[in-house]
Amino acid sequence: MWLPDEAFRALGSRRVLVAVGPDDGPVADTVVAEVARATEQFGGHLVTAPVTVDDALACDVVLAIVGSAGEVGTASATMPPPPGHPPRTDPYLRAVQAVVEDLLALGSSVLNPGMFGLGRHRGRTVVVAADAAGLLYGLHALVRRGEAAFSGPDDFVWDLPVNEIRMLDHWDNTVVHPVMGQVERGYAGGSIFWTDGRVRDDLSRVAQYARLLGSVGINAVGLNNVNVHAAEARLLTDHLDGVARLADAFRPHGIRVFLSVSFAAPLSGGLETADPLDPDVQRWWADAAAGVYETIPDFGGFVVKADSEGQPGPFAYGRDHADGANLLARALAPFGGTVFWRAFVYDHHQDWRDRSTDRARAAYDHFTPLDGRFDDNVVLQVKYGPMDFQAREPVSPVIAAMPQTRLAVELQVTQEYTGQQQHAVYLGTQWAEILRFPLAEDGRAVGWIAAGLSEDHEAERRAAGLVAVSNVGDDEFWTGHPLAQANLYAFARLAWGEEDPVAVLDEWIGLTFQDPSVAPAVHAVLDDSWHTYEKYTAPLGVGFMVRPGHHYGPDVDGYEYTAWGTYHLADRDGIGVDRTRATGTGFTGQYPPPWRDVYESVETCPDELLLFFHHVPWTHVLHSGSTVIQHVYDTHADGYDEVVQMMQSWATADGRVPKAFFDRVTERLTEQERSAREWRDQLRSAFHRRSGIPDATGRTIY
């Protein structure tokens, strides 16, 4: 992935001071170990505390936990600490202050947890942080800069994560599920955590994974499937020793572990009910939480999918989701734990004949009346769109509709509806567009809302962050498609606060590939790949059109007459779902101004979302000047041609990357070409047969 040994050459060839205290814990130990490994390999020298002023001045690089920015020139250990942190009294602080001199005065008077400063100062490269996590993040930021970090004029910047929570959920099953397999919606092999119903004996790959995630600032991981089956339900009570071993692997990289739990767990624990207002149920959850923390003191908390797609929930007892979430939150509160409560709740037994029922409305209808009723340690986890991780759908109106609730935006790194890691589809571009979207009535973007930022960029109390479904497995290349590693990297960097997805892509390419001449080929394959995928699959925001069940490949009417509520309503006259207030399901009314009116009107609705909000004739003229039917004909042909160009670009990397890597990407691109051709021909033919309108270019339609 993106931490090859070569990435550490610039750091490892120098004399490096790592100044941490004896009580800074396992994350600080990780920083020392990383530098020790690099200097041993590349001929540099590691210096650790205790250290004199002369020792510090003799170093090329200084990495130090300083607690906070104190009064310049005091050379004391009484710098004011961040709230909740004791004053630092480390003997090395005098030596570090001699190196940084007036540098700390350039920063804030208090360094926040996770914050670091990095740059050149008086001929040295310096990283200072308030805590061990910040120093780890600063170390890897230094590594990302390469040789450029060790030359040039003084230039110092402060950095800290925009999002408090930067979390990956794994949909791993402890045993192989008969339908979904070992990892639900996983396209990179089996679980790196579980085998035969228990935690693997060898966790070396988990340790590597933790190192990768820590290097890009991920700070939380859910260990098991949100669809909790019978075997996984026992993790909460019977397999905590194994979960503790996983926590041990993640802890040195600043990552807390979470478990997905079944709302009905008390039933399997011997109770006759799981009613959240029942005192016995409340005691059961309190005891269960205490048992977890007795084994794993820094356990993160629970992830819950309830009353959705067959998972049990509070509706069975006439209760609402605030009742359910607060039950678990109060069990976790004494230990500082958090409940991530997914808002993916809808009726999956709809009548396809009833056009007034709209799956897109469900999350808003269920949850917005509950705003303000959730406890402070509940995070409502909301999918970025109202449907289900499509290549194109509008952002969910729920994100802007619950100002009194901590809210995390959920993305999907594993490519369930974007090529399943068979197709090269870089999603950083999509996510950046979502996070920048000015959803709120006051103009705040989705990313601001998730991060808890107010209109003037000041932090609000109810901060949460970003969560995504991970895409790794025990595959040789971690992600099945080697280039899908870019999506895991991009999620983490965007969750940290990076804004330019193309710069993030190039950053990943530069770290991952030893030969810089490979970069143009990889960039050409991935840069616009999301739009390419959108072109040859479901058009103009209509969504789905995939094979039911496994969701791979085209099936125009696959879900059209099912109970899942994912329709396109194409007929001889037109296509699309009417979600307007005037004549449709009223979904547009869930949006704040101006979007409620932008989406309501065919004239103002963006082309790329037209069929999500409107049923229009095949001859409707888009803002682009093309008709809907001609747009389908053109984009599906163009998208296929672009995949062919991607293959040609990748072919130029032959001989410049490891053969196994080259062959795997080539094999996946070959499958992408086949699939894109099938998408092209099926959709062009299906829509021609419905509309009766020929392709104006005369291209072949079957």
Q: What is the DSSP string of 55-91?
A: HHHT-SEEEEE--S---TT---S-PPPPTT-PPP--T
The pLDDT, as a whole number, for residue 37 is 98
Distance CA 466, CA 410 (A): 6
> Tokens at residue 41, please?
């390999």
Q: Looking at the predicted structure, is the pLDDT value of residue 68 above 60?
A: no
Under the banding of pLDDT at 50, 70 and 90, the label for residue 462 is low
**Residues known to be catalytic:** 309, 388, 416
Burial of 282 from C-beta contacts in 10 A (0-12 / 13-18 / 19+): middle
Under the banding of pLDDT at 50, 70 and 90, the label for residue 514 is confident
Distance CA 385, CA 361 (A): 11
Q: Which of 34-43, 265-274, 279-288, 421-430 has the lowest mean pLDDT?
A: 265-274
Q: 10 Å Cβ neighbour count for 206?
A: 21
Q: Looking at the predicted structure, is the pLDDT value of residue 76 above 50?
A: no
Check if the beta carbon of residue 678 is closer than 8 Å to that of residue 636: no
The pLDDT, as a whole number, for residue 233 is 87
What is Dmax (Cα atoms) for the chain?
84
Under the banding of pLDDT at 50, 70 and 90, the label for residue 105 is low
| pLDDT, mean over the chain | 93
Strand partners, 407: 380
With b for 16 or more beta-carbon neighbours within 10 A and e for fewer, the 588-615 pattern comes to: bbbbeeebbebbbeeeebeebbbbbbbb
The pLDDT, as a whole number, for residue 650 is 98
Q: 10 Å Cβ neighbour count for 688?
A: 18
Name the residue with higher pLDDT: 130 or 467. 467
Nearest alpha carbon to residue 303 among 186, 468, 164: 468
Distance CA 405, CA 390 (A): 25
Q: Is 607 helix (H, G, I), strand (E, B) or coil?
A: helix
Distance CA 689, CA 462 (A): 52
H-helix or E-strand containing 182? strand 181-183
Distance CA 4, CA 514 (A): 9
The pLDDT, as a whole number, for residue 84 is 58
> Tokens at residue 560, please?
């059209």
What is the chain's length?
702
Check if the beta carbon of residue 239 is closer than 8 Å to that of residue 277: no
The pLDDT, as a whole number, for residue 108 is 45
Average confidence (pLDDT) over 489-507: 97
Name the residue with higher pLDDT: 238 or 402. 402
Average confidence (pLDDT) over 126-143: 95
Contacts of 332 (CB under 8 A, 6+ apart): 289, 301, 302, 338, 339, 377
Q: Looking at the predicted structure, is the pLDDT value of residue 106 above 60?
A: no
> Tokens at residue 640, please?
């296929």
Model-level pTM? Answer: 0.95
- Please give, one letter per residue, the 3-state secondary structure of 291-311: HHHHHCCCCCEEEECCCECCE
Average confidence (pLDDT) over 105-121: 73
Q: Looking at the predicted structure, is the pLDDT value of residue 102 above 90?
A: no
Check if the beta carbon of residue 283 is closer than 8 Å to that of residue 290: no
